[in-house]
Chains A and B, each alone.
Chain A
Amino acid sequence: MKRFSALRAGDFTRIAILIIPLLFGFGTFANAASDAGHGEAAAHGEDGGHGGHGEESAGDVIMHHILDSNKMEFDPFGSFALPKLVIGGFDLSITKHVVFMWLAAIILLAVFLYVGNYYKRIGSRKAPGGVANVMEAIVQFIRLDVAKSNIGEGYERHMPYLLTVFVFILVLNLLGLIPYGASATGNINVTLTLSVFTFFITQVAAVKAHGIKGYLAHLTAGTHPALWIIMIPIEFIGLFTKPIALTIRLFANMTAGHIVILSLIFISFILKSFIVAVFVSVPFSVIIYLLEIFIAFLQAFIFTMLSALFIGLASSHDESHEPEAAH
């Protein structure tokens, strides 16, 4: 309210006198602003635990935003610490990323329990509407274009995992794009855990499809016993490259997007110029932000897609060898 009345009261010449020096990066206010920025950066740096040296760079601030922490911060309004929890020597503290994971879980449960009830209520004879219809489009997409086309026969068994992993990653990705949000998928521990799930499901599917003997025979890649000493380690490493690729892909994509947006914003702080802010930082970060929304969907899709592909490869019965893994 105050701001509105101030705007109304102020006349254009006064605004212009204020703004012109600001735009060109000189004048007392500009310096004050950049000083404030530095102060903030320093504060962030200390929170992040990298405050070994006096002045903090933009890099530290960016890292602080990306890394996990024990504090929930709502910047101008303060912050609160999250509980520390150490059980049996393991640090099971509730961190920022855990909170966002729970938030994602709550959103998912709220939306999908509603949708599930909706389906129970209307049965299969009626067309769904509203949220259920949107969710059905997603479910149908995962079902037909991801699961059925990659896994083939017996895809129904893997549907709950694929659907859950898709919506879970999607919501985590999107939570990183809201103000004060952080994306837990930008943390390698989270993506590692998710791809370990895919890894186990893939191995179980492979053992189920080929039996223990077939599974072990697969490790030799059907070569002459003389080559086993080379082939077995290679195939064994091959088993783990897939989940590692999944881990790195999701983690790096989410982290990189955030770093790019923050870097673009920090360009204007580093150069201490409002022109840069108006013509470079803001428009470019808006563009990257839009791209990030797309990438949030894309990476969730790719993770699900590759999980389905790996499961399909592991459980396929034809012995034609693995096609090129998608990147």
Chain B
Amino acid sequence: MLTTGFIVLSGGLLDPNPGLIFWTTVTFLIVLFILKKFTWGPMLSALEEREKSIQASIDRAQTAKEEAEEVLKKNRDLLAKADAEAEKIVREGKEYGDKLRADITEKAQTEASRMIATAKEEIEQEKRRALTELRTEVADLAVKGAEKIIMANLDAAKQKNIIDSMIKDLSENRN
């Protein structure tokens, strides 16, 4: 053990060795340059490129996602708008239909009442006309009767006969 310490101190381990330094430098530099040219270059550029392409892919995916979200939102908006539109159309149609029905009903009612009124008026007129006619006829008949009575009054029997025959006539005429 003491010898070990002695050797370390005497410089076995720390001996300078220019040959080894020289060969280390040469070996290391050769390895460095060959690897730099043939390995680290392609490897690092491949890594960098891959990193970039991954980043680009992520970016693209992000953009695509945003776009898709936008499209979805637009679609949703459109759908909502279309829904509203459809509802509006249906509502308007219903309103229009209601109105139309009401109009038609009203018109029909007005028409009907007008027709009823006209018919009533016609009937009234007809009735009035018939009554007037009847009145005239009755008056005429009364005048004719009176005439006949006056004529037959000249003879009682005759009168009676006349009246009888007149009534008979009348009833015959009626049937």
Residues in A lying within 8 Å of B, measured CB to CB = 50, 57, 59-60, 62-63, 66-68, 85, 90-95, 97-98, 101-102, 105, 108-109, 112-113, 115-117, 119-120, 122-125, 135-136, 139-140, 143, 156, 159-161, 163-165, 167-168, 184, 187-190, 192-194, 197, 255
Q: Which residues from chain A contact B102 at a C-beta distance below 8 Å? A: none
- Can you report 28 residue pairs joining A to B where beta carbons are below 8 Å apart? A50-B12, A60-B3, A60-B4, A60-B7, A63-B8, A63-B12, A90-B22, A91-B17, A92-B18, A92-B23, A95-B20, A97-B20, A98-B20, A98-B27, A102-B27, A116-B38, A136-B47, A139-B40, A143-B44, A160-B35, A164-B32, A164-B40, A187-B17, A193-B20, A193-B24, A193-B28, A194-B28, A255-B13
Residues on A with C-beta less than 8 A from B42 are 116, 119-120
User: A116 — which chain B residues lie within 8 A by C-beta?
Assistant: 35, 38-43
- Closest residue on chain A to residue B3 by CB atoms: A59
Nearest residue in B to A89 (C-beta to C-beta)?
B18
Interface digits, B113-139 against A, CB 8 Å rule (1 contact, 0 not)? 000000000000000000000000000
- A contact residues around B16 at 8 Å (CB): 189
B21 touching A193 by the CB < 8 A rule?
Answer: yes
B14 touches A115 (CB 8 A): no
Chain A residues whose C-beta falls within 8 Å of the C-beta of B8 in the assembled complex: 63
- Over the window 38-69 of chain B, the binary record of Cβ atoms lying under 8 Å from chain A Cβ atoms (1 yes, 0 no) is 11111111110110010000000000000000
- A112 near B17: Cβ-Cβ < 8 Å: no
Determine whether the beta carbon of A136 is less than 8 Å from that of B13. Answer: no
- Nearest B residue (CB) for A140: B47
Count, A-B residue pairs, CB within 8 A: 145
- Minimal beta-carbon separation of A61 from chain B (angstroms): 10
B36 interfacial by beta-carbon distance below 8 Å? yes
Other A-B pairs, 15, CB within 8 Å; known A68-B20, A112-B38, A124-B47: A60-B3, A66-B13, A90-B19, A91-B18, A92-B22, A98-B23, A101-B23, A108-B31, A112-B35, A115-B43, A116-B42, A124-B49, A167-B35, A184-B24, A189-B24
- Please give the distance in Å from A192's CB to the nearest CB on chain B: 7
- Contact (Cβ within 8 A) A190 B24: yes
Contact of B44 with A159 in the complex, beta carbons under 8 Å: yes
Contacts of B25 in A (CB 8 A): 193
Q: Across chains A and B, which 5 residue pairs bring their CB atoms closest together, nearest first?
A: A59-B4, A116-B39, A124-B49, A160-B36, A193-B24
Q: How far is the CB of A323 from chain B (nearest CB, A)?
A: 28
Contacts of B18 in A (CB 8 A): 90-92
B53 touches A125 (CB 8 A): yes
B17 in contact with A161 (CB, 8 Å): no
Question: Known contacts being A59-B7, A161-B32, is A188 close to B24, with CB within 8 Å?
Answer: no
**A91, B21: Cβ atoms under 8 Å?**
no
Given A57-B3, A187-B20, A189-B17, CB of A101 within 8 Å of CB of B27: yes
B141 within 8 A of A: no
CA distance A39 to B53 in the complex (A): 66
Query: Contacts A67-B13, A194-B24 hold; do A168 and B36 have CB atoms under 8 A apart?
Result: no
Give Cα distance in the complex from A190 to B16, angstroms: 10
Q: Which of A109, A159, A168, A187 contacts B40 (CB 8 A)?
A: A159
CB nearest to A121 among chain B residues:
B42
With contacts A67-B13, A197-B28 known, is A119 near B43, CB below 8 A? Answer: yes
Q: How far is the CB of A20 from chain B (nearest CB, A)?
A: 31
Known contacts A101-B24, A109-B34, A115-B39, A63 near B4 by CB under 8 Å: yes
Which residues of A lie under 8 Å from residue B17 when comparing CB positions? 68, 91, 95, 187, 189
